[in-house]
A and B are shown apart, each in its own frame.
Chain A
Amino acid sequence: MKETPLSNCERRFLLRAIEERKRLDGRQSYDYRNVRISFGADYGCCIVELGRTRVLGQVSCELVSPKLNRATEGILFFNLELSPMAAPAFEPGRQPELLVKLNRLLERCLRNSKCIDTESLCVVAGVKVWQIRVDLHLLNHDGNIIDAASIAAIVALCHFRRPDVSVQGEEVTLYTPEERDPVPLSIHHMPICVSFAFFQQGTYLLVDPSEREERVMDGLLVIAMNKHREICTIQSSGGIMLLKDQVLRCSKITGVKVAEITELIQKALENDRKVRKEGGKFGFAESIPNQKISAFKMERAPVDTNDVEEQAEEIIMKADPPSDFVAKPILRMPGTAQIGEGLENSWGDFEESEREEEEEGNSDDATTSGGQKMETEEINIVSKTKKDDDTIILSDSEEEEVVILEPEETHKKTRTHTTTKQENSSKKAFNKKRKKKRATH
């Protein structure tokens, strides 16, 4: 798709706003947007959000034979991809210039600065070395791709764990993650890129330009630095003429920003490590918040439970007598018990959550399975639909929509199908909790 053209009106407004030191989102000239780092369930997978710009980074490794002229060093491979998901203007195969520029900058920043110890990636000199591959995908383009990409790359590399290898004479043993814990990469320092946009022939300077600001800027200066104030890469594009003190000022600002960002990265890595060690929930499902459109919030809908009892009685009359089932609770751990096995779930995809849901469903409605008396079953059905009443009056969450559809289902089910209550309850619990449990595997 062709890129939306920038109208004269917008350009004039942006330049005038910059002259008055105002930015579209209310930041100051030297302010960064909010940086959010979230980790996936695998090691080496992370999403970095810089305002609305999002980059996904994934690190993977492989054993290969080394390059001929570097027999004792591992191989690093960086790849940044701009997919049409990021902006409609990116077409596959149609963005060579920007893509090449970003890839080259990333490579210079991370490879030439020797932030990763490639000697430690050597397994058998001249025969087998680790090839570390960093894939970065731009998920949303709202300006300043290079900063977000460099943060994502270094965070993914710090987060990554490669399988452990031991060499004894001629024998090389590669351990699986189950045999021995995977080992982190050896990283010397963390270079981070900071971008500066210049306007009006270098008169005005903005840090972390957003997409609109990038379109009206005259030139861009990118400085990559680590927290020890060592400059790893510096690049100026756009053909503007910069004065010496401008460049020095930019490098001082970079030092401050890099220190802040490095601290943020360390904290994020530390949090993730703690969560994994304590066995808590990790992964994108936990860290990326849900965003809701409040304009279409559903109002509370009353559920008609008038003739539930009659319908339930009908079903119970028509249903087969329950099999003689001896309820024998299995105590799994203090506080968790299971009665019965639960049915085969017809969804089929979500095996793990299925098992968990059935356990919960069983322990919730322990009296409905293996219930013997008709009256208790009646009461349980009524209380189940009453539970629908209670659960509908939740404050606005996406699950509201889920629950409102279900009373119809259960009504339909009680009218036309004679499935057991167990399947109903496990499906209901399953539907409600499906979203949460979905991404823990």
Chain B
Amino acid sequence: ATALAGAAANRAGPSRAPPAGTRVGQVVLPGDVLLLPSHPEADGERLWLGPGAALPGRLVCGPGLRSCGAGLLVTKCGLLRHRQPGGAGGGSGGAYWVDSQQKRYVPVKGDHVIGIVTLKAGDIFKVDVGGSEQASLSYLAFEGATKRNRPNVQVGDLIYGQFVVANKDMEPEMVCIDSSGRANGMGVIGHEGLLFKVSLGLIRKLLAPNCEIIQELGQLYPFEIVFGMNGRIWVKAKTIQQTLIVANILEACEHMTAEQRTQAFAKLSER
């Protein structure tokens, strides 16, 4: 942190905000301003090249970024990432976000999380999701639940659901059905298995498509796993020993390089 502060101070000199395209993949700090090519001051640099792409399309401003007058204002420190949009002619905008590391979860609408039921009050459940407030979950928000047919949820059960309301002004609300009324994997998580906590960055890495860690683990033992975006993971394997091994490997993956991981897996598959 000290060295980064030093670099920031040095940068405060003649400030000409860099265009966003050149900073992708580099470390950005809170307070940095990134110019967008649509801005008149930018010297003609266009991010989206292609015939008929004179109109910059809708730009998605992801986590860690906020739009301010001149461009994008960085609010978290981390690496700047960019994703080109798929589809017609490359003209309809892209997404920028900051890849940062964090352990404390802040509820975001649409996130799927694992929560622990703490209270049954009338027709709602209070669920702890690791944020500053407990989320509320209505008993009707389960698949096939009616006023007569209440879901079988006890205090202390694990719930996998998604947020429908999550902002800083109100308590978050979650549901266990999707927009068409089907459960889609959400609901009460079974009674066996182990729940443990990791950092948010590791969860995002594990949920990336074709994650090697999960594939390698899958070759070791069969297991069931649920990832919550609030940093919680639930694992269940055939025996307790296997469950513990999977949990320990996932926790250790954060600090291991790829070679160390392959070594660890090799040792385990010998046994």
Contacts and interface: CB of A to CB of B under 8 A. Distances in A.
Interface of A: 1-2, 4-13, 16-17, 20, 22, 24-26, 291-298, 347, 396, 398-399, 401-402, 404-406, 408-409, 412, 416-417, 431, 434-435, 438
> Interface extent on B, as a size class?
35 or more
Interface of B: 2-4, 6-7, 10-11, 13-14, 26-27, 78-79, 99, 101, 116, 118, 128, 130, 132, 154, 156-158, 189-195, 201-202, 205, 234, 240-241, 243-244, 247-248, 254-257
B240 A434 contact: no
Nearest to A16: B240
B202 A26 contact: no
Nearest to B202: A295
* Residue of A12, A294, A402, A431 ringed by the most chain B CB atoms within 10 A: A294
Contacts of B78: 296
A347 B10 CA distance: 11
Given A294-B255, A401-B27, A406-B7, A9 B234 contact: yes
Nearest to A22: B240
Contacts of B202: 295
Given A292-B255, A295-B254, A5 B128 contact: yes
Given A22-B240, A409-B11, A412-B14, A293 B248 contact: no
B111 to A, nearest CB: 18
Contacts, number: 112
Contacts of A434: 2-3, 6
B244 A6 contact: no
Nearest to A24: B244
A8 B201 contact: no
Nearest to A212: B196
Contact of B254 (A16, A17, A293): A293
A20 B257 CA distance: 32
Nearest to B78: A296
A341 B16 CA distance: 35
Contact of B7 (A7, A409, A417): A409
22 contacts: A4-B128, A4-B130, A5-B128, A7-B195, A8-B157, A9-B192, A13-B192, A13-B240, A25-B248, A293-B101, A293-B255, A295-B202, A296-B201, A396-B257, A402-B7, A405-B4, A406-B7, A409-B11, A412-B10, A412-B13, A434-B2, A435-B3
